[in-house]
Structure 1
Amino acid sequence: MKQRLVIVGAGFAGMYAALSAARLREQENVSATELEIVLVSQKPELVIRPRLYEPDPGRMTAPLGDVLGAIEVTFVQGEVEEVDTVARSIGILEAAGTRRSLTYDRLVITTGSRLFRPPIPGLEEHGFSVDQLEDAIELDRHLDGLGARPASLGRDTVVVAGGGFTGIEVATEMPARLRRILGNGSGRVVLVERNPAVVPDMGPTPRPIVQDALRTLGIETRLGVGVTALDKGGVTLSDGGRIESETVIWAAGIRAAPLTGKLPAERDNFGRLLVDRDLRVPGLKDVFAAGDAAQAACDNAGNHALMSCQHATRLGAFAGNNAAADLLRLPLRPYHQEAYVTCLDLGGAGAVLTRGWDRRVELVGAEAKAYKAEINTVWIYPPRPERATALASADPEQVTRL
């Protein structure tokens, strides 16, 4: 009897779920007609989201059609709007505006995350971001157009709201970018962070390196304050201060994509589906979740996978494998991911690489920057569209062994 495994989302987790499921199918000598693997997404491409803070973000995509074809995974174009876990079907809105349903025997939710935009007055109208490809392209065009505007304090000032990983990478990219657009000596970058320190999640060990980079690049910091309002000319801060700026970039947190809220299952404060060690959603025996859509324990020490491509790729590989294994009546592999590194781009000041959950600094400056460049230009891209190569890349135990 033909069985169907459906994966929703073509991000890092979705791509590796498809690769890993196809890998197991081939290992077990099961044909694509016996076990159909379907990937549903709005486009047959991987958005290289970790690079959207760089100039020319429109080039930060990689086609998936040839890879999926090589491993006999069916691509269905559209957006999944509904999940019926009783009927085991999903509702898809197609590009033409038509709707269709698709049944599944096992479902893997890998819908990723979205920027969290609180109801701050003016944020929707006047805030930029690098969250999705379209957002990054809009910001890129805006920045490139600044040079044609009349010189003013607002034109020459970029405010980055959020001093976490994304905020730091965006902010440290800006000084060189503004010099190219406005000329040497022009441009002011202000980083606003509600916490009393930048990169609060990185801890105290690498923080001095990040702080030194901000000082070296001339980036101002406003710590312990938040943004309370935006308008066309700038931002108002929670301490009553105001910064004149025509470019305010919001980088203050993410949440799981909304589809997770359509499932009758428990979620965490980020909207992620709680999953067991096999990445199955408790209470929904036919549904697995991975990537930014899942809250998963990655070791026995109390650490949980972060909303990052590093964790998403391995989560996806385990989820795809386990969903296929469940259909084929094979043992499932408990997800684990003890190794963890952080490589934070610091723009013209290089980068910093830490290893382990205690953030031990391993590389700084140019060496760390070279490591970051290899991650960004090689490691996170899809495998070559050759069947053997693509399937070999998706061994759950080998994915993301940094």
Structure 2
Amino acid sequence: MSQKILIVGAGFAGVWGALGAARVLDGAGVRNSDVEITLISPKPELQIRPRLYESEPQRMAAPLLPLLDAVGVKFLEGSVQTIDVHEKSVGVVAADGLKRSLAYDRLLLTSGSKLSRPPVPGLMEHAFSVDCIDDATALDRHFAQLANLPDSPERNTVAVVGCGFTGIEVATELPKRMRALFGPDAAIRVVVIGSQDEIGPDLGPNPRPYVSEAFDSLGVEAVLGSRVVSVDADGVCTESGTRIEARTVIWAGGMRASSLTAQVSSRLDALGRIEVTSDLRVAEAPSVFVAGDVACARSDDDGHYALMSCQHAIVMGQFGGHNVAADLIGVPTLAYRQPFYATCLDLGDWGAVYSEGWDRQIKLTHAEGKARKQLINTQWIYPPAPNRTEALAAGNPLPSGS
């Protein structure tokens, strides 16, 4: 009977994890009939989540079946509901609604993250988001419906709740999107609301002047220092008493790791991520490895930890996939390390700002930054072509020649 590797989640970490695992087995000459890799996800596609602030979000998905077929990875369409680390099994609700239990010899958990939605009155009923393709498409439909309404300040106003990375990218993209729908002369108003005292609190001081410059150039406003306490069909209210009338409210208030993490480990960080060993293993469940947004993983020797980003998820996936297969066949695992870190923040028609290092040293801005962002968004974060040689090479966690 073949041994089984299950990979839960087809985000960036899961896709590159599948390639990494297949690469190890291929290099060791292990047949598919001896070790079976199965990727489990609700849809056989990779949602290009970093692009969902753009228009036409329904286009932001890459099909996975040809790629998985090329490397001999099976795909199961369904949602994992339970994980039993003692019995080494997962409970899956398949696409047809049937429930089944799958056993594993090794598990790679890459179930990702979701937008954090606190119990703010009216948030669930009235706020939009760009958390997944369905959410972003619903926002697109909403804008199209607004375009059929009479011109008014409320129709032309969007309140973006959240002043972090996602909130900034959404807000700076909106003036262009809204004028394309409402007309070039429409009096567009975009307001970013944040409980912090400054825009992009996690970005550090270096990119912030460029963000401010872009806001000024695009006419984006910022209301800071007070959290949103209610959302309704006509706007939002903040704790300080500020009221913003807006027919569109977009929630961009931070991320939370998949709730499956709590079924695997009791050692979770403030974001719900599992604290893993250096090779991305769960100490309490040695047959389970974790990568991507569900992993609290140290990325270098200077005390930095991976962020919830595709940049870290792809590399963690490569290491996680390598290690889950290597551990099964008795090959040494690798310590996850990703010392290079870069940030590229899209700022709409102003351009983009690209920085390197955890201290975010500015390298490119304006049009040059935008060109780098477009390269990242349209090429670098997409899966490889469904060619076996190219796909297996993409699963290599180590630099070429290592």
Residue 108 of structure 1 corresponds to which residue in structure 2? 108
Is this contact kept in 2: 1:265–1:282, CA < 8 A?
A: no
Q: Distance in 2 between matches of 1:279 and 1:264?
A: 13
Structure 1 residue 17: Cα displacement? 0.5
Residue 155 of structure 1 corresponds to which residue in structure 2? 155
Is this contact kept in 2: 1:272–1:294, CA < 8 A?
A: yes
Is this contact kept in 1: 2:257–2:294, CA < 8 A?
A: yes
Residue 312 of structure 2 corresponds to which residue in structure 1? 311
Is this contact kept in 1: 2:265–2:274, CA < 8 A?
A: no
Residue 383 of structure 2 corresponds to which residue in structure 1? 382
Q: Distance in 2 between matches of 1:191 and 1:3?
A: 51
- Could you tell me which amino acid in structure 2 is paired with residue 296 of structure 1? A
Q: Which stretch shifts more, 261-270 or 74-83? A: 261-270
- Could you tell me which amino acid in structure 1 is paired with residue 141 of structure 2? R
Unmatched runs of 5 consecutive residues or more in structure 1:
none
Residue 280 of structure 1 corresponds to which residue in structure 2? 281
Q: Distance in 2 between matches of 1:148 and 1:398?
A: 53
Q: Distance in 1 between matches of 2:180 and 2:320?
A: 44
**Partner secondary structure for residue 38 of structure 1:** strand
Using the size of structure 2 for normalisation, the TM-score is 0.98
Equivalent residues in 2 for 1:4-83 (5 A)? 4-83=4-83
Structure 1 residue 70: Cα displacement? 0.5
Residue 231 of structure 1 corresponds to which residue in structure 2? 232
Structure 1 residue 398: Cα displacement? 3.4
Equivalent residues in 2 for 1:109-258 (5 A)? 109-186=109-186, 187-258=188-259
Q: Distance in 1 between matches of 2:113 and 2:100?
A: 24
User: Could you report, residue by residue, the CA deviation over 1:265-303 in whole angstroms, capped at 9, with x for unpaired residues?
Assistant: 311111111101100011111000000011000011110
- Could you tell me which amino acid in structure 1 is paired with residue 48 of structure 2? I
- Alignment: residue pair count: 399
Is this contact kept in 1: 2:257–2:293, CA < 8 A?
A: yes
Structure 1 residue 310: Cα displacement? 0.2
1:327 aligns with 2:320: no
User: Could you report, residue by residue, the CA deviation over 1:282-327 in whole angstroms, capped at 9, with x for unpaired residues?
Assistant: 1111000000011000011110000000000000100010010001
Q: Distance in 1 between matches of 2:349 and 2:334?
A: 42
Shift >6 Å, 4+ stretches:
none
Percent identity of paired positions between Structure 1 and Structure 2:
51
Unmatched runs of 5 consecutive residues or more in structure 2:
none
Q: Distance in 1 between matches of 2:231 and 2:266?
A: 36
Using the size of structure 1 for normalisation, the TM-score is 0.98
User: Could you report, residue by residue, the CA deviation over 1:373-395 in whole angstroms, capped at 9, with x for unpaired residues?
Assistant: 01100111111001011001111
Is this contact kept in 1: 2:265–2:282, CA < 8 A?
A: no
User: Could you report, residue by residue, the CA deviation over 1:218-273 in whole angstroms, capped at 9, with x for unpaired residues?
Assistant: 01110112111011111001110100001000001000012112224311111111
Is this contact kept in 1: 2:384–2:394, CA < 8 A?
A: yes
Equivalent residues in 2 for 1:80-99 (5 A)? 80-99=80-99
Q: Distance in 1 between matches of 2:99 and 2:301?
A: 43
- Could you tell me which amino acid in structure 1 is paired with residue 168 of structure 2? I
Structure 1 residue 153: Cα displacement? 1.7
Structure 1 residue 159: Cα displacement? 0.6
User: Could you report, residue by residue, the CA deviation over 1:338-377 in whole angstroms, capped at 9, with x for unpaired residues?
Assistant: 0000000000000000100000000000011001001100
- Could you tell me which amino acid in structure 2 is paired with residue 215 of structure 1? D
Q: Distance in 2 between matches of 1:344 and 1:294?
A: 23
- Could you tell me which amino acid in structure 2 is paired with residue 16 of structure 1? W
